[in-house]
Structure 1
């Protein structure tokens, strides 16, 4: 399976409204529940009005479009990272899954996944 590095730093933050989110940005995820509004975006695109923010994330995506009938795509990746004491923040889209790790663990994460047989692309 092929993993593609995302070439930018990411921020995970909590907002009180969507008003200041740049909806024209090329990369963001918005999650709203009855308890919160969360945003994952490029660090330089983080709105100034965050309630809380966690900078220093890097990410990669599973390449290709994953059919909904596929089972166990994300689980082995997260298991390998957990075995190596690397925490994650995962986000799924209609097409694929994204895995974020803290910047200080990024190269180690890619190395252990590569050693486990995953192909890592720029």
Structure 2
């Protein structure tokens, strides 16, 4: 499903770095090494997310030394919530975005923020993800596909 409409907030960027995705038992808490990464993230820009539910803790972050197993496609954003979002057709962005990836057999792990969405794909499937999205009508920003 192509983007809901042609707008700069829906342009894509394949981030250069690699990422890790880790899962921990909810009763284990966040490991000290991961928590220190959160403190370090306050001083350096980058993607770092901790999500805790009643069943688990999931952590996503940029890998050190480019040894991560995931690549990240960022939807440019910002995408505003509320009436404006519905009016301009920004509902269903993740569905539209992940449908061509599903059809290309590319697994995804998504992280959403207030402004935008980050979709992680296995590093060895990044080229297939870019090709599937491009074929579907999504646009990548210049200099983001060379990574």
Same fold (TM over 0.5): yes
CA distance in structure 2 between the aligned counterparts of 1:106 and 1:66, rounded to whole angstroms: 24
Equivalent in 75, 90, 97 of residue 77 of structure 1: 97
Aligned equivalent of 1:17: 29
Q: How many residues align?
A: 113
Gap regions ≥5 residues in structure 2: 1-9
Query: Is the aligned partner of 1:94 residue 2:118?
Result: no
Aligned equivalent of 1:65: 78
CA root-mean-square deviation = 1.6
Aligned equivalent of 2:17: 8
TM-aligned CA deviation for residue 64 of structure 1: 1.9
TM-score normalised per structure 2: 0.71
Moved segments of 4+, more than 4 Å: none
SS at match of 1:75: helix
Larger fraction in strand: 1
Cα deviation, 1:37-96, whole Å, max 9, x if unaligned, reads 111011229xxxxxxxxx411011111201223311111111111011111111100100
Larger fraction in helix: 2
CA distance in structure 2 between the aligned counterparts of 1:27 and 1:101, rounded to whole angstroms: 15
Gap regions ≥5 residues in structure 1: 46-54
SS at match of 2:58: strand
CA distance in structure 2 between the aligned counterparts of 1:38 and 1:87, rounded to whole angstroms: 17
Equivalent in 58, 62, 82 of residue 38 of structure 1: 58
TM-aligned CA deviation for residue 27 of structure 1: 2.2
